[in-house]
Structure 1
Amino acid sequence: MTSDKRRLQPRRQPRQVRSELTRRRILTAAAQVFAEHGYAAGTTNRIAERARISVGSLYQYYPNKDAILLELLTRHLDAGLVAIGERQRSELPGPLEEILRLFVRAAIENHLDDPQLLRVMMEQGPRSDELLAKVARSMGMFVSYIQDLLDGHPEVRVTDTHTAARLVVSTVELVVHQLIAAPDPIDVTRLENELVAMLTSYLTSARAPVT
């Protein structure tokens, strides 16, 4: 486990502006290479060439392409956490449908930058204990926040708001990821409208309690 962890960690943590800029160039180049060529063919040679540095210089920052992809995936998750934090600090609209639309739209926008890269990251990216913990923390924060919203909203008719919050978060994340990253493109406006309508209907429909 320890050797695997070292294999996925960046070699150098930039302390100077020049080093940080080089690291960003590597990550930008890797994102482009993985999106264009896929993970198997996205070699460190191709990444270094795109970043306009030597392979030796690349290895000073990352031991292999697994470590690069892991950092890209971590940054994607961090962006999602930032989005959640911004939503928590902002004033939300009253109607439940509009609140759900904000979250659905944020999820779509977070997946639009490069759907092919997203598919590579999610389906082929390396898994580490640190990454899995970050995923769990991100999902937990989102579920807790959505449950608080459901508990205090007069339009909500579901009784088990914790389960409802988990269903909302999982549905948004999985559906948006799968359809945005699919080979055949989907109209994002229609995706947003249909997903919001589906979730609104589920949360506002009265139903008999489960016994």
Structure 2
Amino acid sequence: MATVDAVHEAAIQVLLRDGAERLTTTRVAERAGVSVGTLYQYYPNKQALLCAVLEIHLGKVADAVTAACESARGKAMSDIVERVVEAYLDAKMARRDISMALYRIAAEIDGAAVARRSLQKSVKSLEQSLRTAPDFALSPGNFAAQMMIGAIAGSTRAVLEAGASPAMVRNLRHHLVLMCRCYLAAVGSCGAAQP
């Protein structure tokens, strides 16, 4: 729907230009070229609008991870890890400014619930992909996949909040792949019990 897409994009532009504290539904409607009444047909308030914007952003990240997992089915565990790390980072780094702005507002709009849903989609996709790896035996449950996605998400946020210079992002890619491969290798070799 073109109007909803325009409202989402306008919300991002106002958020980036003015910050969350100065973002209003009136400013967003003006930027989108719609009336405030039209905006309210879709979102009853600023929080609902920002929650939708966050959900769309995190949905794109989860979709990228899911696509990487699907393309890696049947591949070696190390290949799955590399594809997942690359997909996650590419999605988050494509618009670093948006990622950072949404991190800042997440606490105000119950972003934790939105993030949980997105991360769980990524965890489920990763778990399904790892189960097809010929060189890896995933224990019942998805704790290892959950730990890996959590490590990727947390490390990415830390690097973004530290400035995310090109060198930092290159190091992040390398270190996340190394960390996740080593972790999963350890889990697979010792048959780590999962709670």
TM-score past 0.5 threshold: yes
Residue aligning to 1:176: 156
Distance 1:169 1:194 in 2: 14
Distance 1:22 1:149, change over 3 A: closer
* Cα distance, 1:54 vs structure 2: 4.0
Structure number having the greater helix percentage: 2
Residue aligning to 1:29: 10
Contact 1:35/1:114 (<8 A) preserved: no
**Identical positions, percent:** 26
Normalised by the length of structure 2, the TM-score is: 0.75
Contact 1:25/1:51 (<8 A) preserved: yes
* Cα distance, 1:102 vs structure 2: 0.8
Aligned length: 187
Normalised by the length of structure 1, the TM-score is: 0.70
Distance 1:142 1:185, change over 3 A: closer
Contact 2:65/2:88 (<8 A) preserved: no
Residue 164 in structure 1 maps to residue 144 in structure 2: yes
What one-letter code is carried by the residue in structure 2 that aligns with 1:116?
D
Q: Secondary structure at the match of 1:99?
A: helix
Which segments of 5 or more consecutive residues in structure 2 lack a partner in the other structure?
A: none
Residue aligning to 2:56: 75
Give the alignment of 1:20-169 within 5 angstroms.
Answer: 20-92=1-73, 94-125=75-106, 126-127=109-110, 132=113, 135-153=115-133, 155-156=135-136, 162-169=142-149
Contact 2:122/2:149 (<8 A) preserved: yes
Which segments of 5 or more consecutive residues in structure 1 lack a partner in the other structure?
A: 1-19
What one-letter code is carried by the residue in structure 1 that aligns with 2:39?
L
Contact 1:26/1:58 (<8 A) preserved: yes
Residue aligning to 1:198: 179
Calculate the aligned-residue CA RMSD, in Å.
3.2
Contact 1:158/1:204 (<8 A) preserved: no
Q: Secondary structure at the match of 2:82?
A: helix
Contact 1:31/1:72 (<8 A) preserved: yes
| Higher Rg | 1
Distance 1:87 1:114, change over 3 A: closer
Distance 1:145 1:71, change over 3 A: closer
Contact 2:74/2:133 (<8 A) preserved: no
* Cα distance, 1:105 vs structure 2: 1.1
Contact 1:77/1:135 (<8 A) preserved: yes
Contact 1:150/1:156 (<8 A) preserved: yes
